[in-house]
Amino acid sequence: MAGKQRQITLRFMAEPADQNFGGKVHGGAVMKWIDLAAYACAAGWSGKYCITAYAGGIRFVEPIHVGSIVEVGARIIYTGRSSMHIGIDVRAGDPKSDEKHLTTHCIVIMVAVDDVGRPSSVPEWVPESEDDKELHAAAIRLMDMRKKIGAEMEAHVKPHVANS
């Protein structure tokens, strides 16, 4: 099976078409870049077509200026049977400098699917370094939190019955 590339970095320049009314890059553009990097990372790891199952904890730390060089780094931090949790860091800076600042970070969960769209198994990722072990443990804690949040959100998707 192809695959087993754990991380990837997409690099490009923030363009005027990416800006919001305040003159900075809008969040929707950043979220698109995050999804592209997550897909490239998941496909590289699994060797399969992947779909986005969850994007959460998106923190916009600092704005991105038009004309900045943007780096969207994605790496596997946890694998399930068919899912891959991907840590994303977006960094940006002036193209005339090597210095890049963290602007956004989040976790994206991608699921590998077969030709008919059913979940398909992925290679297991086993953390080795201390840093990777911490990221792996954080991904597990976040899964537990998402389950609790999901249970709370059920009230918003169930039809409300009027009291009579």
H or E element, residue 128: none
Q: Is residue 107 part of a domain?
A: yes
Q: What is the pLDDT of residues 105-132, one digit of tens each?
A: 999 999 999 999 999 999 999 999 999 9
Q: Is residue 133 part of a domain?
A: no
What's the CATH code of the domain at 83? 3.10.129.10
Q: Is residue 16 part of a domain?
A: yes
The per-residue pLDDT for 1 is: 46
Number of independent structural domains in the chain: 1
Secondary structure letter of residue 68 according to DSSP: -
Q: Which two tokens stand for residue 117?
A: 């769209």
Q: Is residue 52 part of a domain?
A: yes
> What residue numbers bound the domain in which 30 lies?
7-125
Q: Is residue 1 part of a domain?
A: no
Q: What is the pLDDT of residues 72-87, one digit of tens each?
A: 999 999 999 999 999 9
What is the residue-averaged pLDDT of the chain?
91
Distance of alpha carbon 59 from alpha carbon 136, whole angstroms: 19
Beta strands 7-13; 101-112: pairing state = unpaired
> pTM of the entire structure?
0.88
Distance of CA 81 to the CA centre of its chain: 18
Of 86, 78, 80, which is closest to residue 9 (Cα–Cα)? 86
Q: What is the pLDDT of residues 56-75, one digit of tens each?
A: 889 999 999 999 999 999 99
